[in-house]
Structure 1
Amino acid sequence: MAINNVNNGLPKAPVDNNKVNGQQQPQQNKTAAQQAAASTAQATNVPRQDSVSLTQSAQQLNQVQKKSAEAPVNQEKVDKLKKAIQSGEYKVDPQSLAKKIARLESEIFGFKS
Structure 2
Amino acid sequence: MLDLYSDIPNHLPEELFQTLIHTPDVRIERIISRGHQTPADEWYDQKENEWVMVVQGAGELTFDDGRSPVRLHAGQSIYLPAHCRHRVSWTEPDRNTIWLAVFFPPASHD
Q: Do the two structures share a fold, i.e. TM-score over 0.5? A: no
Q: Which has the higher helix share?
A: 1
Please tell me whether Structure 1 or Structure 2 has the larger radius of gyration of its CA atoms.
Answer: 1
Q: Which has the higher strand share?
A: 2
TM-score, structure 2 length as denominator?
Answer: 0.14
